[in-house]
Structure 1
Amino acid sequence: MKKLLLLSILILFAFKGIAVDHQKHEVDSLLNKTRELFNTGQLLPYIETAIKALNLSNETNYDEGKAKAHSWIAEGLVTVGLFKEGLKHLESVEKTDFYRKGILAQSEVHRVRGRAYGELRLYQQAIREFRLQLGLIKNLTGEKQKKSYQFTYENLSIVFDAISQLDSVEKYNQLLLNNLKGEDEKKEVFRYLVVYDNLGKLYVKKNDFLKAQQYLDKALALVEKYKIPVVLNTYSSLGTLEEKKGNLRQAADFYERSLANKRAIGSRNGMKNSYRELADFYRRTKVDKAKADQYNMAFSRLNDSLESENRQVVDQVLSQILKLKDEESNTKVSKSVTIAMAALALLLAAIAFFVWRHKHNRKILDEKEEALQETETINKELTEQIGENKFNNLIELAKSNNPEFLILFTELYPEFIQALKTLDPNLRSTELEFCAMAFLNFSTKNISEYTFVTIRAVQVRKNRLRKKFDIPSDADFNNWMRELAGTPTMPLQSED
């Protein structure tokens, strides 16, 4: 009887091993499909497919699959603006052996985290992540190293452009150009086009019209040589160049050609930007007020439509994320279980043995169920405790000047952040953090201590914000911040 049971168990494990291998292959196929969807811009199907790959990887405990799926999901969430959820998935990547052993996986986590920080206007933190990525890339080889350098230089160029450090923008675009040396021009034509456009735009800003013209002419030459349908920013940059030279007719022509190209390729976001660009141009130069009004109206309509669509995409993505969390908290019936159940038919010969063991197994099962209930109770208590501690965590993040402070604050007090952005949509992240500390009723001395600046510097910043928000001189600064979101005053935060 025991030999028969042993034989049955060996057969069962053999079938289970085959099932696991099949599921790993299915995960790899899903991840390949995810990459294809990302490259073609199909954002929602891309995230949904990555979540399927993650669920299947969790079922089989496929470490590489979990790491890659979490990484792809994070990329998608950052792209749609769900930064907090995206950063959480990056933390999950860092828990895998695949991440700890793989330089490319580590490099990608820094890249996506840098993107998230850049979108949150935490520019110094973004630069730090991209530079950490550069330190890892030097240990890669071949095509992986070359492409990683390309992405990192592009990202650094974007961040430095956002903070108007034009010399650094020039440096990283020149590195991009050097990185392309020796590459097949036709194969890498879009990368060449991006660099030429970037350098042309940069030299327009620097008022070096000769160099700007040279690089933008190179971009146009590529467009004509390879019949490229997507002209990116070349026409727009040429329009800016001609406008700065005072050639308004030529500038208008280039701006209009930019819009026409975006219409031809069906780029609605590009069309929106061109409408705004043309409206600003005609209003700024006073060339044609009617056209300024026409393009401004077209911009408003398309912008409203795109924002509505984007909200729908975000809602759908959030729905998928919630579904993922539900599936992670419940036991799923996987394909491997189905195959294993089929293999159990082989155990029919040992029915007598299992009957004999029934009472013993029932006792063990009851003990496991009791332990599971205790675990669920403990998990529930821990979850409640975590919720209660969020505010304390927020205070500690503020005291340590941690960049995660603003992210957690936005989660806890979204109405306050929205109220500030309604008053001034262009508020910097440092200003938002300062107002958040005032909202939490930190004293001037506290803010000075936690942000490592003098008390005088804190007072100067308060005065600037009073002017920006038109706060009366006799109004308490911290109370005004609390009342902005309809929140009652709170006791002054202690220094300990």
Structure 2
Amino acid sequence: MGRINWIDFNHKKEFLKKIIVCTICMGLFFGTFSCHRDSYDKEKENFDVSLLTRSSDLQLSGEYEAFVRLNISFLKKAAKMKYKEGKGLCYLNMAGVNVSAGNYEKARFFFNKAEKDLENSQNVYHKATFYDDYSLYYSHLKLNDKAIDCNNKAFYYLKQAKKTKLTQKLLPRLYVNKGIYYAWKGWLGTSLKCFAKGNALENSAYTNCMMAQYYLFIHKPDSAGIYIAKADEKMLNQKTTDVESLWVYYTMGYYYNEVNNSEQAEKALKKALEINIKTRHTYSSHIKDVYKALAELYKKKNDGGKAYFYLKKYMEEEGRSDASRFAAMNKATESFISELKQESDWHKNDLPLFIALSITVLTVSGVYVRKLINGMKQKKNTLKEQTDALKTRVQHKQLEEITDLAKRNDSSFLLKFKELYPEFIKALLEINPDLENSELTFCAMLKLRFSSKEIADYTFVQHRSVQQKKYRIRKRLNIPGETDIYDFFENLT
């Protein structure tokens, strides 16, 4: 009996040993798996932080080609890691930079690619970032309701995300963007609350600028001045990006123009133009506002020539008529797309997706495109009317100036007349290259339809002398006797 118990005891002991060994093995297995999983999650987190931080720095510095190269390298890295969401972030970066540069067709292409890779992401920060960028896209297209809807989705996902450096950086920008969309909708009270919340969280040169922009928008320059001073201080004491500095200088120019300090306004706006030379490939959407502000500044200063110049520049920028603006950017973008075609070597299953998305880009809704084109045409027509009106005003002012010079018998009359009517003088010299300056001056006065008596009074000669000059000019220019001399000069150009 005792022997039997001893055997049972040994069996139980062996059984317990096996259980302990199995438990240890399972623990080691799950521990190893967990460590591997934690390591992989950490690798993905490092990927996100490095990609998004470095991309943002390059974009805000206007270094487009370096920006593209960086995202190509991370796209390949994500493929090797089998990190689908990482690829989505690369596409999202490309979408964002094209939105900022106004290249909306390519932006839509990359948004479609990003959405496919991020739609099933378990990382809610990814989705928050996606909807934030998409809200900016709709805002650029003046579709504020869609922009607000995407902004709300971005908030929804960001509230579920754990607190990190990336989420802390995104949150204030979501508030600022919401403030912009609500301001355009006319919901000013809600807009101010959003701007104030964003500024309280970030308190940067940019967020203080947006507070100033709000008060300028509602015509309260005294309140705007408080935040202009804060933005200027932040820009001087903190490291601000080129794009952020551009926005500060533009807002300062806008403010100084409102308070009639034309010298400071011109200085700030010219500084914004200078920065734009560097950032125009990644952020060109701001520059039209700078041109418009300069046009308004010079209009206030009664400098019609410069006002017309900058209004025309604004119209060109708004209408997107100069295709060369995208030349450098599109060249780099095409190289990025060529990398996508090679993606079949990394993930062959993505090739049908690439083809499908390419077809989607080419078959954008006709109604949407027509609506967009009609809106742009209407805006272009309005701007053209403003430009033509300003051009007429400039010419009228110049005409008054040269008329006044003629009446005062000023020696600079002919020089100023040539600036306003260069083709007229050219036509006279083609008829008779030997015309003297005194004769050209006399012809210019006839072009302005001065009577013989007026010419005599202004040039201090006898009325008979003016009649004799008219006779000589007819002979010098071969003007037929039956032709009215005033009509001849009127129709010459």
TM-score where L is the length of structure 2: 0.53
Q: Which residue of 2 aligns with 1:279?
A: 295
Q: Partner amino acid for 2:66?
A: P
1:326 to 323, 337, 341: 341
Q: Which residue of 2 aligns with 1:354?
A: none
Q: Which residue of 2 aligns with 1:103?
A: 124
Q: Number of matched residues?
A: 324
Return the alpha-carbon distance in structure 1 between the equivalents of residues 159 and 270 of structure 2: 42
The answer as to 2:222 corresponding to 1:210 is: yes
Return the alpha-carbon distance in structure 2 between the equivalents of residues 413 and 304 of structure 1: 18
Q: Which residue of 2 aligns with 1:408?
A: 364
Distance of aligned partners of 1:422 and 1:299 in 2 relative to their CA distance in 1, 3 Å threshold: closer
Q: Which residue of 1 aligns with 2:110?
A: 86
| Matching of residues 56-95 of structure 1 within 5 Å | 57-58=78-79, 61-79=82-100, 80-81=103-104, 82-95=106-119
1:83 is paired with a residue whose SS is helix
1:257 is paired with a residue whose SS is helix
Distance of aligned partners of 1:235 and 1:118 in 2 relative to their CA distance in 1, 3 Å threshold: closer
Return the alpha-carbon distance in structure 2 between the equivalents of residues 301 and 127 of structure 1: 29
1:278 is paired with a residue whose SS is helix
**Contact 2:84/2:117, CA 8 A, preserved across alignment:** no
The answer as to 2:265 corresponding to 1:310 is: no
**Contact 1:281/1:292, CA 8 A, preserved across alignment:** yes
Distance of aligned partners of 1:407 and 1:148 in 2 relative to their CA distance in 1, 3 Å threshold: farther
**Contact 1:275/1:298, CA 8 A, preserved across alignment:** yes
What do residues 21-72 of structure 1 show as CA deviations (whole Å, max 9, x unaligned)?
9xx99x9599476455335332243234323432453466333533433333
**Contact 2:212/2:227, CA 8 A, preserved across alignment:** yes
Return the alpha-carbon distance in structure 1 between the equivalents of residues 368 and 313 of structure 2: 34
1:174 to 196, 217, 239: 196
Distance of aligned partners of 1:126 and 1:416 in 2 relative to their CA distance in 1, 3 Å threshold: closer
Return the alpha-carbon distance in structure 1 between the equivalents of residues 119 and 165 of structure 2: 27
The answer as to 2:442 corresponding to 1:421 is: no
Distance of aligned partners of 1:145 and 1:417 in 2 relative to their CA distance in 1, 3 Å threshold: closer
What do residues 340-372 of structure 1 show as CA deviations (whole Å, max 9, x unaligned)?
xxxxxxxxxxxxxxxxxxxxxxxxxxxxxxxx9
Q: Which residue of 1 aligns with 2:401?
A: none
2:115 is paired with a residue whose SS is helix
Distance of aligned partners of 1:172 and 1:407 in 2 relative to their CA distance in 1, 3 Å threshold: farther
Using the TM superposition, give the Cα deviation of residue 257 of structure 1 relative to its aligned residue in structure 2, in angstroms: 1.4
Distance of aligned partners of 1:160 and 1:215 in 2 relative to their CA distance in 1, 3 Å threshold: same
Return the alpha-carbon distance in structure 2 between the equivalents of residues 307 and 297 of structure 1: 12
Using the TM superposition, give the Cα deviation of residue 201 of structure 1 relative to its aligned residue in structure 2, in angstroms: 2.4
**Contact 2:179/2:195, CA 8 A, preserved across alignment:** yes
Q: Partner amino acid for 1:93?
A: D
**Contact 1:73/1:89, CA 8 A, preserved across alignment:** no
**Contact 1:259/1:271, CA 8 A, preserved across alignment:** no
| Matching of residues 222-241 of structure 1 within 5 Å | 222-223=234-235, 231-234=245-248, 236-237=250-251, 240-241=254-255
Return the alpha-carbon distance in structure 1 between the equivalents of residues 239 and 76 of structure 2: 43
List gaps (5 residues or longer) in structure 1. 1-20, 181-190, 335-371, 391-403, 428-496
Return the alpha-carbon distance in structure 2 between the equivalents of residues 162 and 318 of structure 1: 32
The answer as to 2:241 corresponding to 1:257 is: no
1:151 to 155, 173, 183: 173
The answer as to 2:77 corresponding to 1:121 is: no
Q: Partner amino acid for 1:281?
A: L
Distance of aligned partners of 1:415 and 1:48 in 2 relative to their CA distance in 1, 3 Å threshold: farther
Q: Which residue of 1 aligns with 2:306?
A: 291
Return the alpha-carbon distance in structure 2 between the equivalents of residues 35 and 227 of structure 1: 14
The answer as to 2:215 corresponding to 1:193 is: no
Using the TM superposition, give the Cα deviation of residue 271 of structure 1 relative to its aligned residue in structure 2, in angstroms: 6.4
**Contact 1:157/1:169, CA 8 A, preserved across alignment:** yes
Using the TM superposition, give the Cα deviation of residue 127 of structure 1 relative to its aligned residue in structure 2, in angstroms: 0.9
List gaps (5 residues or longer) in structure 2. 1-39, 383-493
Using the TM superposition, give the Cα deviation of residue 170 of structure 1 relative to its aligned residue in structure 2, in angstroms: 0.9
Q: Which residue of 1 aligns with 2:470?
A: none
**Contact 1:71/1:93, CA 8 A, preserved across alignment:** no
Q: Partner amino acid for 2:268?
A: S
| Matching of residues 380-391 of structure 1 within 5 Å | none
Q: Which residue of 2 aligns with 1:437?
A: none
Using the TM superposition, give the Cα deviation of residue 174 of structure 1 relative to its aligned residue in structure 2, in angstroms: 0.7
Structure (1 or 2) with the larger CA radius of gyration: 2
% identical aligned pairs: 16
Distance of aligned partners of 1:227 and 1:49 in 2 relative to their CA distance in 1, 3 Å threshold: closer
1:121 is paired with a residue whose SS is coil
1:287 is paired with a residue whose SS is coil
Return the alpha-carbon distance in structure 1 between the equivalents of residues 135 and 347 of structure 2: 37
Return the alpha-carbon distance in structure 2 between the equivalents of residues 110 and 414 of structure 1: 22
Between stretches 319-328 and 301-310, larger displacement belongs to 301-310
Using the TM superposition, give the Cα deviation of residue 295 of structure 1 relative to its aligned residue in structure 2, in angstroms: 4.1
Q: Partner amino acid for 1:328?
A: E
1:207 is paired with a residue whose SS is coil
Q: Partner amino acid for 2:205?
A: L
Return the alpha-carbon distance in structure 1 between the equivalents of residues 191 and 373 of structure 2: 32
Distance of aligned partners of 1:333 and 1:127 in 2 relative to their CA distance in 1, 3 Å threshold: closer
**Contact 1:239/1:253, CA 8 A, preserved across alignment:** no
Using the TM superposition, give the Cα deviation of residue 416 of structure 1 relative to its aligned residue in structure 2, in angstroms: 8.1
Distance of aligned partners of 1:259 and 1:178 in 2 relative to their CA distance in 1, 3 Å threshold: closer
Return the alpha-carbon distance in structure 2 between the equivalents of residues 413 and 307 of structure 1: 23
**Contact 1:77/1:83, CA 8 A, preserved across alignment:** yes
2:195 is paired with a residue whose SS is helix
Using the TM superposition, give the Cα deviation of residue 263 of structure 1 relative to its aligned residue in structure 2, in angstroms: 5.0
Q: Which residue of 1 aligns with 2:385?
A: none
Using the TM superposition, give the Cα deviation of residue 115 of structure 1 relative to its aligned residue in structure 2, in angstroms: 1.9
Using the TM superposition, give the Cα deviation of residue 287 of structure 1 relative to its aligned residue in structure 2, in angstroms: 2.5
